[in-house]
Amino acid sequence: MKRFLCSKCKNVIEVPYGVPKPDICPYCNADGIFIHRIDTGGRGLGRGRGRRCGLRFLEKLKP
């Protein structure tokens, strides 16, 4: 589950993976600009683990 925090009412909103961020808060009807993700994600490779951080790239750096 993805977790979002509404900065207006301070409630936590949980939605399953694959479902986009809510457009409005289900508790206070605030716009989506007040809703921010609070968990680290859990899917994908994470920050800094893109194409250039593989073993092949590191082997090319060795003299």
Nearest to 23 by CA among 11, 10, 35: 35
Give tens-digit pLDDT for 19-34. Answer: 999 999 999 999 999 9
Give tens-digit pLDDT for 3-62. Answer: 999 999 999 999 999 999 999 999 999 999 999 999 875 555 555 555 555 555 555 565
Domains of the chain with CATH codes: 2-61 (2.20.28.10)
List 4's β-bridge partners, or say none: 13, 37
CA pair distance 58, 52, nearest whole angstrom? 8
CA pair distance 12, 35, nearest whole angstrom? 9
Here the tokens at position 49 are: 């683990």
